[in-house]
Amino acid sequence: MGKEYTLELDEQARGKEEKLVMMSLRQEDMGSHGHRFFELSYITGGTALHTLNGVSGPVQKGDYFLLDYGSVHSFEDSRDLTLINCLFLPEVIDDTLAGCRTIEELLRVCLIRYHRQYYGRSPSNRVFHDEDGEILNLLQGMQEEYREKNTGYAEIFRCRLLEILIRVMRKILQGETQFGKSRQQSTLVQEAIAYLDAHYRERMVTGRFCEEYHYSPQYVSRRFRQETGLTALEYLQKVRIERSCELLSGSELQIQEIAREVGYEDVKFFGKVFRKLLHMSPGEYRRMTSYSAAF
């Protein structure tokens, strides 16, 4: 398929300042390429062999996928292949997300309360199928808003894009990806998750779980990572930061009080973990959610 190359949004946009491009097109064979933007593609007709990050499989009408920055894909043996392409920068959802480079990062900020079963299961770089046409309907509505650009179109577009992300998350939780059902979590991991959810404020919580349930820390660590894609500490941090976001947006507690409430005595360390997961400070998150609530 030739040498791999990288696409820029400016190359696809009508103007250099655009953060979003949406188009319907007939797709011919296309060599391996990456992107410096997010891509949501929906197959509206025809077939092709699609290779995504080294994994190949057929795609057909009703299939769709989300690509992170840097994801590499190609099309071969394209036969009457047509698709809707939605190319966008993270700022389309919110300007504060400018540094995000994965869909997972976007969700951490925009949908901080999403179901904890979802942690570690990225919605990007998978192929899904639109059984009931709901995704297509949303995309067609987004196309119309993009063409007409009436007052408020950007906010409608943003809301529909977030709805698509939520629907993709549901598919992941239901195990409905093209590549089969997700493996069920073991009793051990279910117990560990429930324990961390209930005791996330406490110190040395993972060690205490191992003591109370008579597991070795090494065994728990290995099984937890195998089944969730995260270490127990990473999961604990996500739970704590999720709770802190609820307090930042729904209370008037000071940031140092919130840090202690979710299990961090060191407010500087709390800020470091918060920024690592959400790419903004607790104060920036509070300002962003306060601004959103005003509208």
CATH of the domain at 278: 1.10.10.60
- How far is Cα 161 from Cα 190, in angstroms, rounded to an integer? 31
Whether 177 has a pLDDT exceeding 50, the answer reads no
Q: What are phi and psi of 39, to 5 degrees?
A: -135, 130
pTM of the model: 0.66
Closest CA to 185 of 122, 116, 241, 233: 116
Neighbours of 138 (CB within 10 A): 18
Mean pLDDT across the chain, nearest whole number? 84
**Do residues 159 and 245 share a domain?**
no
Residues 15 and 122 in one domain: yes
Q: Tell me, yes or no, whether 180 lies in a domain.
A: no
Residue 182 lies in a domain: no
From 174, 205, 220, give the residue that closes a domain. Answer: 174
Within this chain, do residues 124 and 32 fall inside the same structural domain, yes or no?
A: yes
Give yes or no: residues 18 and 120 share one domain: yes
120-135 mean pLDDT? 82
Q: For residue 86, which of 165, 175, 16 has the smallest C-alpha distance?
A: 165
The residue type of 139 is: L
Cα 16 off chain centre by: 26
CATH number of the domain bearing residue 102: 2.60.120.810
pLDDT tens per residue, range 65-113: 999 998 999 999 999 999 999 999 998 888 878 878 888 777 766 655 5
pLDDT tens digits, one per residue of 10-47: 666 655 568 889 999 999 999 999 989 999 999 999 99
User: Do both 130 and 269 map to the same domain?
Assistant: no
Asked if residue 47 and residue 170 are part of one domain, the reply reads: yes
The pLDDT of residue 55 is 86
Whether residue 179 is contained in a domain is answered as no
Q: What pLDDT, in 10s, does the model give residues 232-254?
A: 998 899 889 888 988 998 889 99
116 or 247: whose pLDDT is higher? Answer: 247
Same domain, 113 and 152: yes
State the total domains in the chain: 2
pLDDT at 236: 92
Note the pLDDT of residue 5.
65
Residue 273 backbone phi and psi in degrees, to 5: -65, -40
- Mean pLDDT along residues 168-179: 64
Q: What angle do CA 8, 11, 14 make, to 5 degrees?
A: 125
Q: Provide the percentage of residues in the chain whose pLDDT is more than 70.
A: 84
pLDDT (0 to 100) of residue 180: 36
Which residues span the domain enclosing 109?
5-174
